Amino acid sequence: MASLCFQSPSKPISYFQPKSNPSPPLFTKVSVFRCKASVQTLVAVEPEPVFVSVKTFAPATVANLGPGFDFLGCAVDGLGDHVTLRVDPSVRAGEISISEITGTTTKLSTNPLRNCAGIAAIATMKMLGIRSVGLSLDLHKGLPLGSGLGSSAASAAAAAVAVNEIFGRKLGSEELVLAGLESEAKVSGYHADNIAPAIMGGFVLIRNYEPLDLKPLRFPSEKDLFFVLVSPDFEAPTKKMRAALPTEIPMVHHVWNSSQAAALVAAVLEGDAVMLGKALSSDKIVEPTRAPLIPGMEAVKKAALEAGAFGCTISGAGPTAVAVIDSEEMGQVIGEKMVEAFWKVGHLKSVASVKKLDKIGARLVNSVSR
């Protein structure tokens, strides 16, 4: 049986084919995939700040979407993080200081080298070649840590966009995703399926990492799509959940997941919420290894489907469960059943919300001119 080496894109990804008539079974490497690179200065002349301060917002995201592990994700409306960034003469030129962290958690480090927002902000400053201005940053967390909703990516996206905005929006979305990837690499792994939709909005396909190649997937505006997000009182750190992944998979599962991921992309482009749900529910590689680590997850998925959801899976690394439907009213009913299942089977309290697709991504909320 052929198999696939299954690791994060920050590590080599290799396809393996067994030698003919091996005894004992041997595997031959057929190809090896990429290694990440760091950001570089992209602006010839250091820009001056056009604002004294800015406030930005970046949305929550649903990564993987079932079979799209590390290459598919989308942004969801209403939930996310805020960053307030100021030109600060008391901060050494070319550096950034984190002044305050508020919201769902205050236990994050204020050392910018050890904070998602700080790392992304520094990477963006490096891209812009900022050497003459010091900045201070406030982070307001709207997302809990380890929720499976792209908490680290939301902080990184809001910070990268804030730096870009305060210096006159010199960088494009792909450059900002690269800045965010610097943060993600140090926190949860070099994967863009949270940071790309957090910055760009909508559905995003990561076609390649080296060089970075992002493909926005436009869900038709006339079609309805709602995400039922149910977050239990349980933390699932991304690094821990990635460590649980298999190192090899059967070829038959690789083929199956590839076909389901292709169906998911087609469903997004066609606005087919039913097919999207079926594909999202069909992962045979990642979900089967992660679901047992989240108390009650299998029962929650079953409850969602029985209540009428088109599909259900784990959002990102979990523990949030995500179901899809085309009616907000129906989404509320499905959410109630999922919450009930988390409590009855997993003995976990949980909170449900029904959200639309965020088609904008990270954005400027307000600014103060010089």
Catalytic residue list: 184, 238
- Radius of gyration from C-alpha coordinates of the chain: 21
Residues 114, 77, 359, 315: what is their CA dihedral angle, to the nearest 10 degrees? 60
Residue type, position 28, single letter:
T
Backbone torsions φ then ψ of 325, nearest 5 degrees: -160, 170
The bridge status of strand 321-325 relative to strand 226-232 is antiparallel
Q: How far is CA 138 from CA 69, 70, 107, 159, 282, in A?
A: 32, 29, 14, 9, 40
Cβ-contact 152, 184 below 8 angstroms: yes
347 CB-side CA count, 13 A: 0
31, two tokens:
């190809």
Collect all residues with Cβ–Cβ distance below 8 Å to 294 and sequence separation of at least 6: 232, 234, 236, 314, 318, 319, 346
Cβ-contact 199, 56 below 8 angstroms: no
Cβ-contact 203, 197 below 8 angstroms: yes
Q: How far is CA 129 from CA 39, 274, 301, in A?
A: 11, 47, 48
Cβ-contact 222, 68 below 8 angstroms: no
Cβ-in-10-Å burial (0-12, 13-18, 19+) of 50 comes to middle
